[in-house]
Amino acid sequence: MIQQFDASFGKCFYLGNESVCCILGIHRGQVELLHFGAPLLPEDAEAMALPEGLGWGCSVIYKHADSSVCLDTSALAWSESGLGDYRETPLALSKDGQPVVPDFVFSSSRMLPEMPPYAFPMPHARGGAETLELVLTANSSLLTDNTTLSLYFSLYETALVRRTVLKNGSGSPLTVSKMMSVMMDLKGSFSMTSFHGNWSTEMHRHTVPVKRARTVNESVSGFSSNRTNPGFILSKAGVTEDAGEVYGFNLLWSGNHYASAQKSEQGLTRVMQGISPDHFAHTLEDGELFESPEAVLCWSGCGLNGLSSNMHRFVNKHIIPSYWQYRERPVLYNDWEGCMFSFNETKLLSLAKKAKKLGCELFVLDDGWFGERNSDTAGLGDYTVNREKLPGGLEGLSRRIHALGLDFGLWFEPEAVNPDSDLYRAHPDWALHTPGIGDMLSRNELLLDLTKPEVRDYIVSSVSAILDRADIQYVKWDMNRHSAALGEKAYAYILGLYEVLDRIFSARPHILLEGCASGGNRFDLGMLCYAPQIWASDDTDPIERLDIQNGLSYLYPVSTIGAHISVSPNMQTLRATPLSTRANAAFFGCFGIEMDLGHLLPVEEQELKESVEYYIAHRNTFQFGSFRRNQTEDGAVCWQVTGKDETIAALFHRLIHAGPGYEWLYVSGLDSKAVYSMQSRKQALRVGQFGALVKHITPIELNPNGMVLHTADKYYRMHDATEETVCSGAALQAGIPLAPRFTGTGYREDIRVQGDFLSNVYLITKESKAQDDPV
Ligand code: DGJ
């Protein structure tokens, strides 16, 4: 609900529902933030207004003030430099090379059924939500009151979406060097949790206290980046996964981004988020608009799990392209880790047959199918099929893959070019160069200059032609370097990218687009508006994925996270992990298999098949259930998803120690009085993993390096303990003890063989209604 009313100090705007609430007051022409966070009533506005009169010796008194109040001490929802507020400004403008202070003051408001459309393709929240527009006009004689700033606030079920739009009505050009999507002065102190990494170490969580020195979360690599995800969290003291007050922020933008938080002397925390001002200078001609990307703000009083749930609901409902909203994602097979550049049609078809046998639904041909692309040094940009590898072309391959009963998907990296390519030789000027500096390559490639219309047309026509010729249901859109562009150019590049994606995919909504940028170098809400899922990382080691997927889970739902089972030892870490753990980690994502299936042992084939079956049986719960991170002991990780009729919890171990103690499974958020049954997934154990220890459980002594054991390892499976229990939701919440772990006493079917990197998955279903409900 959005309401407007008059309070004792001036106009008030209330935006509130069951999840979030924002109360704004207009005071001395400024937009003050009376409250953002917990749901309150409109009548609370008066009580939330800060007392007047805070100001010190050298404070500057705002010229529209009728008292000694200065902006420096106010809680604001927008501000600017030059008017006495010396905290960080969300806006920096100049005219004729000189800084200009617009002195924007409130002039009018409008209630709109939804956010107005952007004038060009830009990611935006879908589905419409009541929107408040506050129009501020410039008071400066250098600008005239035709120069306006509109602050938009859209109220979604679990989020507030902010957009800021500047209109130049000054009669001559203005330069925008900074304009945030949102700024707020929140009350009290916070810690900032942000997500960082690099190639294959994406989304590791870091938390720092926000103090007087500014805490900044910024990307200047041209993309939202694996170094610094745009999403971040502000937590009050003592926040846990299940308790306490937390705020989440994210941006619908895939380029350079900026966010900061800083505590003021008066106990307010100024937070802002938008496009990075680094090297930014956008010329705004008279009459033109500059529109910020949308920022998403969530709040929860129920800790980090509560915040994630609000973010996930918003993303699934309002960010994902309509066709794919709540539509189950297929189980895919991708040939990359198995083949890299070395394949031909016969090899691909044999992989596809095996993938089909395992239960996969989609076959994806990754890099290496076009031009001279036999390594990453050549061919990028030349989208003509390599007939040596694929004599029947893509059409022929696609037909054969479909004949096996699989959908067909294809990899592209349309934004990049190898200097060793026909495209580069024909159009060297199409690549993004740094003026005055020779080209610096990354993975032997340059980016194409998507700010040029002819480059955008080339990409749209070459990709579209392939999609229309071969029968393609899925596209993996890769991008493998940081940008050479800075500031304004990097900004225009991202607008070019959105135009290209819009032109190709809005006409083909049924094609499932998976975003990828060397893994998760562009995992953001902007890309998710086009690509319902994103390849989270080239690191497919399930133990590494515990950190990567865990980091993503704070802000992004499981349905958006690409996660595959790959080979062991792992390609990135050389770590050997059991197939069961590789599967259990991939369950918590858009599940796929990415390894050479040519050398699978019969036991592995069987286990993979069972894993795919398990995932498909519970796919809706995994992809769209409500996700939680649960309590564990000893650095283990516990994830949980709750769907319509079932809950699945997974417990993952990292390194274990001898003589393990008890272990409990904690499952949260269930109906405490209802009775549930809990059953662990039946998991296989490899005979070979016990090595020489096998002799202790076999009637005859076996040579650990001999034929008999090797043969048994291929064909014969042992099983881990399976557990079953019936108890109340309250007991599951309190933590139920699990069967003992392997303690050096040998193998027994009632002992969990949970050595290093083992894990299990528990299915929890309701047996009966709440105990005091009439049956
Ligand atoms: C980087 C991606 O992250 C990988 O999954 C793979 O598609 C390669 N590029 C192909 O070059």
pLDDT in tens, 282-316: 999 999 999 999 999 999 999 999 999 999 999 99
Helix (H) / strand (E) element for 712: namely helix 707-715
Report the DSSP beta bridge partners of residue 163: 152
Kindly name the residue from 85, 103, 335, 478 that is annotated as catalytic. Answer: 478
**Contacts of 304 by beta carbon, 8 Å cutoff, 6+ apart:** 233, 235, 239, 240, 241, 246, 554, 629
Q: What per-residue confidence (pLDDT) applies to 634?
A: 85
Both tokens of residue 199?
A: 């190639």
- Mean of the per-residue pLDDT values of the chain: 95
**CB neighbours (10 Å) of residue 286?**
14
Pocket test for ligand 1, best of 199, 202, 518, 534 (most atoms within 8 A of CB): 518
**Contacts of 630 by beta carbon, 8 Å cutoff, 6+ apart:** 241, 638, 639, 640, 649, 666, 667, 668
Kindly name the residue from 538, 539, 541, 720 that is annotated as catalytic. Answer: 538
Lowest mean pLDDT among 170-179, 336-345, 374-383, 690-699: 690-699
Task: Give per-residue pLDDT as tens, 179-202.
Answer: 999 999 999 999 999 999 999 999
**CB neighbours (10 Å) of residue 97?**
6
Measured between alpha carbons, how far is 474 from 154 in angstroms, rounded to an integer?
33
Which whole number is the average pLDDT over 656-669? 92
Whether 539 is catalytic is no
Instruction: Determine what percent of the chain falls in helix, strand and coil, rounding each to the nearest 5.
Output: 25, 30, 45
Lowest mean pLDDT among 62-71, 155-164, 272-281, 627-636: 62-71
Contact 145, 117 (CB under 8 A): no
Residue 66 has pLDDT above 80, yes or no: no
The DSSP symbol for 429 reads: G
Q: What per-residue confidence (pLDDT) applies to 774?
A: 46
Exposure on the CB side of residue 378, measured as CA atoms within 13 A: 10
Atom of ligand 1 nearest to the CA of 366: 7
Q: How far does the centroid of ligand 1 lie from the alpha carbon of residue 519, in Å? A: 7
**Contacts of 308 by beta carbon, 8 Å cutoff, 6+ apart:** 248, 553, 554, 555, 627, 628, 629
Measured between alpha carbons, how far is 727 from 768 in angstroms, rounded to an integer?
11
Contact 534, 215 (CB under 8 A): no
Report the DSSP beta bridge partners of residue 178: 92
Which whole number is the average pLDDT over 362-372? 97
Nearest to residue 252, comparing CAs of 230, 276, 226? 230
Q: What per-residue confidence (pLDDT) applies to 619?
A: 98
Q: How far does the centroid of ligand 1 lie from the alpha carbon of residue 518, in Å? A: 6
Residues in the chain: 775
From the number of C-beta atoms within 10 Å of its C-beta (0-12, 13-18, 19+), residue 355 rates as buried
Which whole number is the average pLDDT over 619-635? 96
Q: What per-residue confidence (pLDDT) applies to 720?
A: 92
Q: Which CA distances in Å does 364 have to 43, 344, 408?
A: 57, 14, 6
From the number of C-beta atoms within 10 Å of its C-beta (0-12, 13-18, 19+), residue 644 rates as exposed
Rg (alpha carbons) of the chain, rounded to whole number: 28
Ligand 1: which residue has its CA nearest to atom 10? Answer: 367
Measured between alpha carbons, how far is 421 from 371 in angstroms, rounded to an integer?
8
**CB neighbours (10 Å) of residue 185?**
24
**Orientation of helix 453-469 relative to helix 393-403, angle to 10°:** 40
User: In which order are the strands placed within the sheet that holds 626-630?
Assistant: 626-630, 637-642, 646-652, 759-768, 675-680, 724-728
SS3 177: strand
Pocket test for ligand 1, best of 337, 366, 410 (most atoms within 8 A of CB): 366
Ligand 1: which residue has its CA nearest to atom 1? Answer: 518
Backbone angles phi, psi at 505, to 5 degrees: -100, -20
Which whole number is the average pLDDT over 564-590? 97
Pocket test for ligand 1, best of 443, 476, 478, 595 (most atoms within 8 A of CB): 478
Whether 538 is catalytic is yes
Atom of ligand 1 nearest to the CA of 476: 7
Q: How far does the centroid of ligand 1 lie from the alpha carbon of residue 575, in Å? A: 20
Backbone angles phi, psi at 711, to 5 degrees: -70, -45
Which whole number is the average pLDDT over 58-69? 77
Q: What percent of the chain has pLDDT over 70?
A: 98
Lowest mean pLDDT among 270-284, 407-421, 677-691: 677-691
DSSP alpha helix (H) spans, 273-339: 303-318, 336-339
Q: How far does the centroid of ligand 1 lie from the alpha carbon of residue 478, in Å? A: 7
Q: How far does the centroid of ligand 1 lie from the alpha carbon of residue 364, in Å? A: 12
DSSP β-ladder status, 215-219 and 257-263: antiparallel
Nearest to residue 753, comparing CAs of 713, 718, 711, 704? 718
Residue 521 has pLDDT above 80, yes or no: yes
Residue 212 has pLDDT above 70, yes or no: yes
Which whole number is the average pLDDT over 440-448? 96
**Contacts of 757 by beta carbon, 8 Å cutoff, 6+ apart:** 542, 543, 575, 577, 578, 581, 652, 653, 654
Residue 604 has pLDDT above 80, yes or no: yes
Ligand 1 site: residues with CB under 6 angstroms? Answer: 336, 366-367, 411, 478, 480, 516, 518-519, 535, 538
Helix (H) / strand (E) element for 251: namely strand 246-251
Q: What per-residue confidence (pLDDT) applies to 697?
A: 76
Atom of ligand 1 nearest to the CA of 518: 3
Cis, bond preceding 230 (omega within 30 deg of 0): no
Q: Which CA distances in Å does 66 have to 13, 28, 29, 486?
A: 22, 8, 11, 44
Measured between alpha carbons, how far is 141 from 678 in angstroms, rounded to an integer?
71
Q: What per-residue confidence (pLDDT) applies to 416?
A: 98
Which whole number is the average pLDDT over 465-493? 96
Ligand 1: which residue has its CA nearest to atom 2? Answer: 518
Q: How far does the centroid of ligand 1 lie from the alpha carbon of residue 435, in Å? A: 29
Residue 745 has pLDDT above 80, yes or no: no
Contact 209, 262 (CB under 8 A): no
Backbone angles phi, psi at 400, to 5 degrees: -70, -40
Q: What per-residue confidence (pLDDT) applies to 769?
A: 67
Q: What per-residue confidence (pLDDT) applies to 633?
A: 87
Both tokens of residue 19?
A: 């999840």
SS3 755: coil
Both tokens of residue 167?
A: 């209109």
Residue 544 has pLDDT above 70, yes or no: yes
**Contacts of 107 by beta carbon, 8 Å cutoff, 6+ apart:** 135, 136, 137, 145, 148
Lowest mean pLDDT among 10-14, 169-173, 698-702: 698-702
Task: Give per-residue pLDDT as tens, 129-154.
Answer: 999 999 999 999 999 889 999 999 99
Measured between alpha carbons, how far is 486 from 495 in angstroms, rounded to an integer?
14
Q: What percent of the chain has pLDDT over 90?
A: 89
Both tokens of residue 755?
A: 């050595």
Ligand 1: which residue has its CA nearest to atom 9? Answer: 518
Ligand 1: which residue has its CA nearest to atom 11? Answer: 367
Q: How far does the centroid of ligand 1 lie from the alpha carbon of residue 773, in Å? A: 54
Which whole number is the average pLDDT over 41-57? 86
Pocket test for ligand 1, best of 334, 364, 367 (most atoms within 8 A of CB): 367
Query: Between 354 and 743, whose confidence is greater?
Result: 354
Q: How far does the centroid of ligand 1 lie from the alpha carbon of residue 138, in Å? A: 49
- Residue environment code for 547-557, b if the CB has 16+ CB neighbours within 10 A, otherwise e: bbbbbbbbbbb
Which whole number is the average pLDDT over 618-647? 96
**Contacts of 468 by beta carbon, 8 Å cutoff, 6+ apart:** none
